[in-house]
Structure 1
Amino acid sequence: MPTVREQATITSKGQITLPKPIRQALGVDAGGKVDFELREDGQVVVSRAEAEHEDPAIGAFLGLLAEDIQAGRHIRGLPDELARAMLAQVGRDDGLGEEIEGEVAL
């Protein structure tokens, strides 16, 4: 990402407006969230906050899954092909054929 340097003014309420070039570079819009990281050297790093459940369908699915787990209902694993496709979509190795090392708590 190219370096973008902008300046913002702090209001009497401690608020700032992220300059448009910064919002565009971060890919955030009205209602979007950003994270602030204060480093030991005094620098502040601003980054786009990763939303846990941006897609309402995924949020609803995860809610149903949590209910099933709490109720002790049997949950079957994903088919290997589907798991591999999902992991490939996010750029991760599936690791499905690897041995599990160490203890596993279920």
Structure 2
Amino acid sequence: MPTIHELATITSKGQITLPKPIRQALGVDVGGKVAFDLHEDGQIVVSRADAEHEDPVIGAFLDLLAKDIETGRHVQGLPDDLARAMLAHAGHKVSLGDDFDEDVEI
């Protein structure tokens, strides 16, 4: 990958805007997270923070489903047993790297 050199200005609040070529190289967009690592030699490495990647579209859809289930207004065609299972698991942290304890049909 070629070296990219960009400048950013620090605002009075200590904020910067990541230049577009840097955002594109990191693969981050609005709401994306980046990590800053300060090395002993003073070098700072900026990288995409993948540990808690959240897709805003999927997040919004899941929020919609949660609200519908909580109010009893199920999304049309959502089976009751699926709605009950989703409600029972609402708020539980899930690690996408974990193995399943049971068989899953796709």
TM tier relative to shorter chain = 0.5 to 0.7
Identical amino acids, percent of aligned pairs: 67
Alpha-carbon distance, 1:3 to partner: 1.1
Alpha-carbon distance, 1:2 to partner: 2.0
Residue 40 in structure 1 maps to residue 26 in structure 2: no
1:42-70 superposed Cα distances (whole Å, 9 cap, x missing partner): 0110000014353659x977x3879xxxx
TM-score for both structures, normalised by structure 1: 0.52
Secondary structure of 2:23's counterpart equals helix
1:61-101 superposed Cα distances (whole Å, 9 cap, x missing partner): 7x3879xxxxxxxx84669xxxxxxxxxxxxxxxxxxxxxx
| Structure 1 CA distance for aligned equivalents of residues 27 and 9 of structure 2 | 21
Tell me: higher relative CO, structure 1 or 2? Use CA pairs within 8 A at least 6 residues apart. 2
| Structure 2 CA distance for aligned equivalents of residues 64 and 17 of structure 1 | 31
Residue 28 in structure 1 maps to residue 28 in structure 2: yes
Gaps of 5+ in 1: 67-74, 80-106
Paired residue type of 1:45: V
Count of residues in Structure 1 that have an aligned counterpart in Structure 2 = 71
Report what 2:18 is aligned to. 18
TM-score for both structures, normalised by structure 2: 0.52
| Structure 1 CA distance for aligned equivalents of residues 51 and 13 of structure 2 | 26
Secondary structure of 1:31's counterpart equals coil
Deviation beyond 2 Å, 4+ runs, structure 1:
51-57, 63-66, 75-79
Alignment of 1:1-106 (within 5 A): 1-52=1-52, 54=54, 63=92, 76=101
| Structure 1 CA distance for aligned equivalents of residues 93 and 47 of structure 2 | 31
| Structure 2 CA distance for aligned equivalents of residues 64 and 14 of structure 1 | 32
Q: Cα–Cα, structure 1 residues 32 and 64, in superposed 2: closer, same or farther, change >3 Å?
A: closer
